[in-house]
């Protein structure tokens, strides 16, 4: 199902649970409309936006986690497919962008934290880093958050990054994709691209 990837050497991948605004962010980054529905889980397969001359692709992976109207078995299958995809292409992925909803992410993480449970967002963050993929957490919908610094500090704390968040600006990027406010993300991505000698890709971010 996930075998639609163009044969490109370099990739930036967007990951995140359903309905956090990945497809909106993808549209901001590429200027291209993808099928974004009002319903969570519309993106069931990866959306690839391909720049053949640069041997580069941006990929929006399907949302994981709870989706209303989607059977649990199907949800688990999607998550498994995402994990396999990331493992398979880890060496090609220059940067992963983990998109979270700034308004609800702390509640969601805390609700799913327990002795036997690691919240998806936290698990995905550590999984990406374990694969050696530079990861930026795009904290979306920040226009709906009142105390921004406090929220971002709490998120760092949950991710195992010592607050204050401002010392992690190459990892934590507060954005509002719907309003086109994604500069902190672009800066963080560029920093990782630079480290990998890919300044030629700056024009996309």
Check residue 192 and give its pLDDT: 98
Terminal Cα-to-Cα distance of the chain (whole angstroms):
29
| pLDDT higher than 70, residue 43 | no
Check residue 25 and give its pLDDT: 95
Domains of the chain (ranges, CATH numbers): 10-200 (3.40.50.300)
The tokens for 201 are 């890709």
- Give the three-state DSSP class for 150: helix
Model confidence band, residue 198 (pLDDT cutoffs 50, 70, 90): very high
Check residue 64 and give its pLDDT: 83
Check residue 19 and give its pLDDT: 87
Model confidence band, residue 124 (pLDDT cutoffs 50, 70, 90): very high
Check residue 41 and give its pLDDT: 53
Check residue 88 and give its pLDDT: 96
| pLDDT higher than 60, residue 42 | no
Model confidence band, residue 44 (pLDDT cutoffs 50, 70, 90): confident
Closest CA to 159 of 176, 174, 137: 137
| pLDDT higher than 80, residue 148 | yes
For the chain, give the percent of residues with pLDDT over 70: 93
Distance, in Å, from the CA atom of 205 to the CA atom of 201, rounded to the nearest integer, reads 7
10 Å Cβ neighbour count for 158? 18
Place of tokens 């963050």: 125
Check residue 3 and give its pLDDT: 77
Burial readout 167-202 (b: 16 or more C-beta within 10 A, e: otherwise): ebebbbbbbbbeeeebebbbebbbebbeeeebeebe
Q: What is the mean pLDDT of residues 169-181?
A: 97
The single-letter DSSP state of residue 164 is: P
In degrees, to the nearest 5, what angle opens at C-alpha 59 toward C-alphas 54 and 63?
175
Check residue 153 and give its pLDDT: 98
Distance of CA 54 to the CA centre of its chain: 22
Q: Are strands 172-174 and 135-140 parallel, antiparallel or unpaired?
A: parallel
Check residue 116 and give its pLDDT: 78
pTM listed for this prediction: 0.93
| pLDDT tens string 68-121 | 777 888 888 888 999 999 999 999 999 999 999 999 999 999 998 888 777 889
Q: What is the mean pLDDT of the chain?
A: 91
The CA dihedral of 27, 178, 183, 60, to the nearest 10 degrees, is -40
The rounded radius of gyration (Å) of the Cα atoms in the chain is 16
């Amino acid at each position: 199902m996930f075998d639609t990837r163009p044969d490109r050497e370099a990739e930036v991948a967007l990951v995140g649970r359903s309905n956090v605004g990945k497809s909106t962010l993808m549209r901001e980054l590429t200027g291209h409309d993808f099928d974004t529905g009002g319903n969570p889980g519309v993106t069931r397969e990866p959306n690839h936006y391909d720049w053949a001359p640069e041997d580069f692709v941006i990929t929006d992976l399907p949302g994981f986690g709870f989706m209303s109207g989607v059977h649990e078995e199907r949800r688990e299958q999607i998550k498994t497919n995402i994990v396999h995809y990331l493992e398979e292409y880890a060496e090609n992925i220059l940067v992963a962008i983990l998109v979270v909803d700034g308004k609800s992410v702390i509640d969601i993480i805390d609700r799913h934290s327990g002795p036997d449970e690691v919240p998806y967002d936290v698990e995905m963050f550590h999984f990406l880093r374990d694969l050696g993929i530079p990861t930026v957490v795009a904290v979306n919908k920040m226009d709906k958050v009142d105390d921004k610094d406090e929220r971002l500090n709490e998120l760092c704390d949950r991710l195992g990054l010592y607050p204050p968040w401002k010392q992690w600006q190459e990892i934590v990027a507060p954005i509002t994709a719907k309003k086109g406010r994604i500069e902190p993300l672009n800066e963080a991505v560029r920093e990782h691209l630079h480290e990998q000698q890919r300044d030629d890709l700056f024009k996309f971010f």
